């Protein structure tokens, strides 16, 4: 299996967590988004969208972290990352998509660069934008987690897609100094996840490119 990623990419971080939880090995191909490695002809021939992550596994070659998670779940089900019941799977996918669809796309590198370079937004306003979308997303997520289905993790006592999406987002929130006092459940779950090797080993600072 080959994973194309970048140590600070939230979407690649999701896939690293899933691989670790499932005990799967991959050859990691590190691209520097800052150096523009993802815009080279060589990489665009692999992934025309020019994003990371991208996974190759035998005949399967796909981008989009959520598609990759679904693929891993389907083909390597021994350590499940979705609950066994329909209601649980719906809840986990909804929680995961609250981050993956409604928070992360507003705050990723190309959006921040566009705000600054094309729209002339200053650093303070850009940081306000960043905090705003995380705070909005986390408010809703914290409310959703006030549910008896929440346990040590977002859903029960097993890690799922929801935790896999949450952890990179909370990593970014902390990196960009977004206040988290109003989100005690999110923080509790994130701290618990980070105490586990599968999550800890996937942290950006624990990747070779960060050394």
- For the CB of residue 157, give the shortest distance to ligand GSH in the complex, in Å: 26
- Residue 110 makes contact with ligand GSH by CB under 6 A: yes
CA 72 to chain centre: 15
- Residue 207 makes contact with ligand GSH by CB under 6 A: no
64-93 binders of ligand GSH (CB under 6 A):
64-66
18-37 binders of ligand GSH (CB under 6 A):
33
- Residue 172 makes contact with ligand GSH by CB under 6 A: no
Q: Which is nearer to ligand GSH, 47 or 150 (CB)?
A: 47
- Residue 107 makes contact with ligand GSH by CB under 6 A: no
Please report how many Cα atoms fall inside a 13 Å half-sphere around the Cα of residue 112, on the Cβ side.
Answer: 16
CA distances for 45 relative to 26, 38, 99, 123, angstroms:
20, 10, 29, 34
CA distances for 190 relative to 13, 32, 95, 160, angstroms:
14, 27, 14, 12
- For the CB of residue 188, give the shortest distance to ligand GSH in the complex, in Å: 25
Q: Which is nearer to ligand GSH, 52 or 190 (CB)?
A: 52
Residue with tokens 């992934």: 47
Query: Residue 61 in 3-state DSSP?
Result: strand
* The token pair that represents 163 in the structure block: 């935790």
- For the CB of residue 113, give the shortest distance to ligand GSH in the complex, in Å: 7
Q: Which is nearer to ligand GSH, 16 or 38 (CB)?
A: 38
Please report how many Cα atoms fall inside a 13 Å half-sphere around the Cα of residue 1, on the Cβ side.
Answer: 18
- For the CB of residue 140, give the shortest distance to ligand GSH in the complex, in Å: 19
- Residue 183 makes contact with ligand GSH by CB under 6 A: no
Q: Which is nearer to ligand GSH, 3 or 189 (CB)?
A: 3
Query: Residue 147 in 3-state DSSP?
Result: coil
Chain residues that interact with ligand GSH, rule: CB under 6 A: 9-11, 33, 38, 51-53, 63-66, 100, 108-110
């Amino acid at each position: 299996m080959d994973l194309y990623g970048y140590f600070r990419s939230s979407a690649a971080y999701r896939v690293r967590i899933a691989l670790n939880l499932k005990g799967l090995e991959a050859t990691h191909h590190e691209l520097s988004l800052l150096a523009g490695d993802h815009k080279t002809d060589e990489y665009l021939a692999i992934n025309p969208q020019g994003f990371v992550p991208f996974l190759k596994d035998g005949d399967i070659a796909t981008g989009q972290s959520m598609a990759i998670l679904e693929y891993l779940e389907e083909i390597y089900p021994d350590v499940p990352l979705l609950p066994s019941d329909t209601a649980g799977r719906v809840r986990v996918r909804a929680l995961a998509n609250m981050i993956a669809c409604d928070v992360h796309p507003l705050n990723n590198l190309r959006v921040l660069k566009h705000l600054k370079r094309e729209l002339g937004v200053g650093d303070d306003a850009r940081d306000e934008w960043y905090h705003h979308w995380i705070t909005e997303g986390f408010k809703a997520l914290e409310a959703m987690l006030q549910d008896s289905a929440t346990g040590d993790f977002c859903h029960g006592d097993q890690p799922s897609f929801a935790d896999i999406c949450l952890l990179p987002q909370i990593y970014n929130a902390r990196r960009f100094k977004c206040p988290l006092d109003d989100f005690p459940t999110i923080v509790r779950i994130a701290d618990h996840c980070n105490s586990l090797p599968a999550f800890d080993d996937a942290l950006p600072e624990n990747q070779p490119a960060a050394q």
